[in-house]
């Protein structure tokens, strides 16, 4: 293995640890074993094109943010999902564009995206992103997000303090109906399938 490839592998490996620590999931919803295998494949490549293909398998197509934005505006779902992941939490884009990002995040959330679910929970709890504050909606999105036992558990409990017992009961039924619909769906991408399966394995 060439020294440059060893450095690449170490860089990818450390990046995977950082991504896991931040989001409790590896890039594109892969398992840590799949991610490590992809990083190793990239490191073992002897030519740049091979390494580039291996990296794209992990991160998706390598494009600039402006390129992703243009594709997202044209209706490309992969690009819209990428923009949700890049700007949803950070809110580092123009307000008008952020409203579009939120709508794309909602599409991702409906397909089981853990990051998008958590984002919607935050936005509904604060009334940001063009959404009116709604504790029932915040509770709903935090509750469906807790499949990986993340901080959303605490956030769900905070939202619950703003609800009546009847409202919580309605939200819980909504969660069951949502999960049933999700588990009966047929995801079109590997990432969507992985995240759908996470929800369905933990279905109540």
pLDDT of residue 40: 54
Is 80 exceeded by the pLDDT of residue 25? no
Domain range annotation of the chain:
3-59, 66-201
Most confident of the ranges 35-44, 111-120, 146-155 = 111-120
What's the mean per-residue pLDDT of the chain? 77
* pLDDT tens-digit series, residues 37-78: 555 555 555 555 555 555 555 555 678 889 989 999 999 988
pLDDT of residue 51: 53
Torsion over CA: 101, 171, 195, 35 (sign): positive
Q: Place 15 in a pLDDT band, splitting at 50, 70 and 90.
A: low
Percent of the chain at pLDDT above 70? 66
Contact by Cβ (8 Å): 101, 93:
yes
Q: Place 29 in a pLDDT band, splitting at 50, 70 and 90.
A: very low
Q: Which has the minimum average pLDDT: 19-28, 122-131, 187-196? A: 19-28
Is 80 exceeded by the pLDDT of residue 106? yes
Q: Which has the minimum average pLDDT: 44-58, 137-151, 156-170? A: 44-58
């Amino acid at each position: 293995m060439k020294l440059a490839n060893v450095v690449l592998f170490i860089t990818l490996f450390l990046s995977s640890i950082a991504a896991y620590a931040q989001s409790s999931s590896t890039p594109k919803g892969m398992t840590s074993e799949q991610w490590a295998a992809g990083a190793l494949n990239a490191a073992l490549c002897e030519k740049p094109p091979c390494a580039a293909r291996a990296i794209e398998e992990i991160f998706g197509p390598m494009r600039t943010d402006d390129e992703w934005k243009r594709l997202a505006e044209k209706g490309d779902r992969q690009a819209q999902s990428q923009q949700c992941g890049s700007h949803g939490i950070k809110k580092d884009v123009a307000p008008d564009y952020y409203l579009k990002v939120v709508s794309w995040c909602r599409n991702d959330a409906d397909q089981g995206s853990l990051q998008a679910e958590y984002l919607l929970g935050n936005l509904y709890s604060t009334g940001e992103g063009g959404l009116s504050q709604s504790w029932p909606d915040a509770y709903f999105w935090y509750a469906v997000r807790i499949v990986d036992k993340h901080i959303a558990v605490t956030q769900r409990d905070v939202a619950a303090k703003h609800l009546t017992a009847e409202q919580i009961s309605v939200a819980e039924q909504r969660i069951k109906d949502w999960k049933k619909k999700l588990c009966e769906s047929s995801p079109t991408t590997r990432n969507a399938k992985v995240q759908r399966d996470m929800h369905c394995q933990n279905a109540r």
